[in-house]
Amino acid sequence: MEVPILKQGEFLIATFQAALSDADLENLRRGLVHQVVKFRSRGVIVDVTAMDVMDSFASRTLREIAHMIRLRGAETVIVGIQPEVAFAMVQLGLTLEGVATALDLEEGLAYLIEKFKNID
């Protein structure tokens, strides 16, 4: 299952589907990093609203995506982690340390815009 990546000005938006396999997540990681380079994007929003399970592999992949993109000088924000998913992640000890999160797409965009406002 392919994750669609949308280009919105300086930002990229990737929307996760419910049932992503490890291979899908790895493809997404590759695709996102590639597109950040190609479009010289400054920010990436990963929307995980539809994800009903965030296990160790998915969390690790998200963290890796954010860190790789940061090395390119861009910023990643994960949006839409569902309350049940957040609860399970905490029980498992998964923290997404060092990765920005926001409630939804709108707040994620606001976060990125604010972040890059003073740089231009």
Partner 1 sequence: MSAGEIRVVINSDQDIVFARQRGRVLATQLGFSAVDSTLIATAISELARNILAYAQKGEITLRAVQGSSRKGILVVASDDGPGIPDIRQALRDGFSTSGGLGIGLPGVRRLMDEFEIKSRPGRGTTVTVKKWKQ
Residues that bind partner 1 (CB under 8 A): 19-23, 52-57, 59-60, 82-85, 87-88, 91-94
Minimum CB distance to partner 1, residue 42 (Å)? 30
> Which two three-digit tokens encode residue 40?
């010289």
Q: Please give the backbone phi and psi of residue 62, each rounded to the nearest 5 degrees, phi first.
A: -60, -40
Q: Quick one: 26 or 107, whose CB is closer to partner 1?
A: 26
Minimum CB distance to partner 1, residue 88 (Å)? 4
Token pair 């994960």: residue: 78
Q: How far apart are CA 101 and CA 80, in angstroms?
A: 8
Minimum CB distance to partner 1, residue 69 (Å)? 20
Q: Angle at the Cα of 68 (from 67 to 71), degrees rounded to 5? A: 90
Q: How far from the centroid of its chain's Cα atoms is residue 1's Cα?
A: 17
Q: Quick one: 92 or 103, whose CB is closer to partner 1?
A: 92
> Which two three-digit tokens encode residue 48?
């995980």
Q: Quick one: 57 or 110, whose CB is closer to partner 1?
A: 57
Minimum CB distance to partner 1, residue 96 (Å)? 12
Q: Quick one: 36 or 65, whose CB is closer to partner 1?
A: 65
Contact 50, 81 (CB under 8 A): no
